[in-house]
Chain A
């Protein structure tokens, strides 16, 4: 089944303790992206990647890191989490089809709480 898999689904952590949220897709998509979703703010893009070893900042990259060493994986790293990073996080992927665009496939989400 074509899917984007995120882990973990829920995570509670303490301020300053490094964590990684994993994201993997099995559709051979070039494009992958991370979003955070907060009430009243919709989805905001954190980072995205157009292909292996190619990453770029989205709208809210502060406090996050990503890497794209393999096409299928795009982990999100919080080196020193803070309470304002408490949020619902989504990974998404898409094939690159030029100007015609293509719909995203989303993971099920990771609900992160930083205390």
Chain B
């Protein structure tokens, strides 16, 4: 399967701490994207990083991409209770720029 894999499957932290989630994939990509899903709701696009980029920031989010290791990480700094959600990485493989393959997600719980 070309599906990406997130690690860890679940993460529990306290408000104010940083949360790091990792994603690994198997074949060459055009881009990698991160999405958030609140329980049972639709996914929301967070950030896209292209294969020729190594790091990208958006507010409290920082994404890194290491194409040599076929891996990416999502860092949420100063987490809040509202960040509680599942986070998915999605990869667009080379030659399929619009077709995304999703991983199984990391469940993040941020407690007060």
Interface residues of A (CB under 8 A from B): 4, 31, 33, 35, 40-45, 48, 50, 88, 90, 92, 94, 96-109, 111
The stretch from B12-20, B42-50, B73-81 touching chain A is B42-50
A40 touching B104, Cβ below 8 Å: yes
Number of interface residues of B (CB under 8 A): 25
Instruction: Give the A-B pair count, Cβ closer than 8 A.
Output: 69
Known contacts A106-B44, A107-B42, A109-B42; decide if A48 and B33 are in contact (CB<8 Å): no
Smallest distance from the beta carbon of A25 to chain B beta carbons, Å?
Answer: 12
A106 to B46, CA, bound (A): 12
Check B97 against A98 for contact (C-beta < 8 Å).
yes
A contact face: mostly helix, strand, loop, or mixed: strand
26 inter-chain pairs at a CB distance below 8 angstroms, sorted by A residue, are: A35-B102, A40-B104, A41-B104, A42-B3, A42-B88, A43-B88, A45-B99, A45-B101, A90-B42, A90-B43, A96-B98, A97-B97, A100-B50, A101-B31, A101-B48, A101-B50, A101-B92, A101-B98, A103-B48, A104-B43, A104-B45, A104-B90, A106-B35, A108-B42, A109-B41, A109-B42
